[in-house]
């Protein structure tokens, strides 16, 4: 080893060969440093994964909904008509990457996890990843009532139509009276009424459903329902209630009888919607005198029944559906029937009421 002094500092120059033991020490030191870097890198990656997972969990779940998500959770998003335990299923994919999609997903899982009824579409399971949300339902082979109403499908015979009306009424009754908590759907419409292979009606799409206190009045919420099916107080004030669901139920009853959309294009050209058009034909039942409606009045009133049926329908049932439909769509919420009163008329436990002789505006 040779030494030299540079400005007060000793500069050491290596001139002798390094021994074998020194090589081993340097090699061991390099190896230890490499392992330290690998471990540190692994810790960083693991922490990042944990943070990402926690963020994801906070986006799609809360402690209140853990039980709901655990009902039947699929690992991957499934395709429509896939086989699950030998049964066909339908899959609803919600919008990803938005707060609304996450909220709708959570709301629908929570709502349907608490509900069990033959006239509600059954939720089989769910699947959620950070950017994908899927709900798996029982498969409804006949599509929606809206498909039959508004698309080129064969007309449904009267018996099936009346049973669809009764099935929908049964679903609404269960939501308001049959469960542990009153539930308002907030989007009852033909496109959300699904039909199975026997044309039994099942109400679906609970992404907007909300539980309410049975003893309290309407609650102000964001209006989410479809134009034409919305009660006036819901449109004007955003007040959703049992009564606003009854209004939507009444609109669907009129669509079933008349086989027209509530916003039928031909009626709109005349400045009318379906409810107003039926009121025109209802006119004044006072022509009947006391006790019963007149045959002349009934003939005029039943002119609104779908002409595609070629008069092959039960006149008593048609009259009941039309009157209940108008009763349910009264513009004043307090003047509408309860769902029990409406169903009593449709099941012929009570006679149809005589409504006001003036069309409500």
Alpha carbon distance 36, 59 (integer Å): 35
SS3 per residue for the chain: CEEEEECCEEEEECCCCCCHHHHHHHHHHHHHHHHHHHHHHHHHHHHHHHHHHHHHHHHHCCHHHHHHHCCCECCCCCCCCCEECCEEEEEEEECCCCHHHHHHHHHHHHHHHCCCCCCECCEEEEEECCCCEEEEEECCCCCEHHHHHHCCCCCCCHHHHHHHHHHHHHHHHHHHHHCCCEEECCCCCHHHEEECCCCCEEECCCCCCEEECCCCCCEECCCCCCCCCCCHHHHHHCEECHHHHHHHHHHHHHHHHHCCCCCCHHHHHCCCCHHHHHHHHHCCHHHHCCCCCCHHHHHHHHHHCCHHHCCCCCHHHHHHHHHHHHHHCCCCHHHCCCHHHHHHHHCCCCCCCCCCCCCCC
Tokens at 231, concatenated: 């009660």
194 Cβ neighbours under 8 A, 6+ residues apart: 121, 140, 142, 143, 144, 145, 201, 202, 203, 204
Cα distance from N-terminal residue to C-terminal residue, the chain: 109
- Write down the catalytic residue from 68, 104, 187, 306: 187
Annotation says 99 is catalytic: no
Place of tokens 């039928």: 264
Place of tokens 């509600």: 120
Cα 302 to chain centroid distance, Å, stands at 34
* Positions marked active-site: 187
């Amino acid at each position: 080893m040779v030494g030299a002094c540079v400005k007060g500092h000793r500069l050491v120059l290596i001139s002798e060969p390094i021994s074998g033991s020194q090589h081993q020490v340097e090699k061991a030191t390099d190896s230890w440093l490499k392992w330290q870097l690998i471990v540190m890198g692994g810790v960083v990656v693991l922490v990042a994964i944990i943070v990402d997972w926690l963020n994801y969990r906070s986006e799609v779940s809360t402690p209140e909904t853990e039980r709901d998500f655990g009902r039947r959770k699929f690992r991957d998003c499934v395709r429509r008509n896939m086989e699950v335990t030998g049964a066909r299923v339908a899959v609803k994919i919600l919008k990803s990457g938005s707060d609304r999609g996450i909220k709708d997903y959570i709301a629908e899982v929570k709502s349907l996890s608490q509900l069990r009824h033959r006239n509600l579409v059954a939720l089989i399971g769910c699947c959620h990843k950070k950017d994908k949300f899927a709900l798996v339902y029982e498969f409804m082979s006949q599509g929606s009532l809206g498909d039959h109403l508004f698309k080129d499908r064969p007309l449904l015979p009267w018996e099936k139509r009346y049973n669809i009306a009764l099935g929908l009424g049964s679903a609404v009754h269960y939501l308001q009276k049959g469960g542990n908590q009153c539930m308002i759907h907030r989007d009852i419409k033909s496109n959300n009424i699904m039909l199975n292979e026997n044309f039994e009606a099942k109400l679906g799409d609970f992404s907007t459903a909300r539980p309410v206190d049975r003893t309290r009045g309407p609650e102000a919420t964001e209006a989410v329902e479809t134009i034409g099916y919305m009660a006036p107080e819901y449109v004007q004030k955003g007040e959703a209630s049992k009564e606003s669901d009854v209004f939507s139920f009444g609109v669907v009853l009129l669509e079933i009888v008349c086989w027209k959309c509530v916003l039928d294009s031909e009626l709109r050209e005349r400045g009318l919607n379906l409810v107003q058009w039926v009121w025109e034909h209802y006119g004044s039942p006072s022509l009947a005198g006391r006790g019963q409606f007149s045959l002349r009045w009934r003939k005029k009133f039943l002119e609104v029944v779908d002409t595609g049926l070629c008069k092959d329908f039960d006149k008593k049932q048609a009259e009941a559906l039309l009157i209940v439909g108008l009763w349910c769509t009264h513009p004043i919420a307090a003047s509408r029937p309860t769902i029990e009163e409406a169903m009593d008329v449709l099941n012929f436990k009570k006679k149809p009421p005589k409504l006001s002789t003036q069309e409500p505006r």
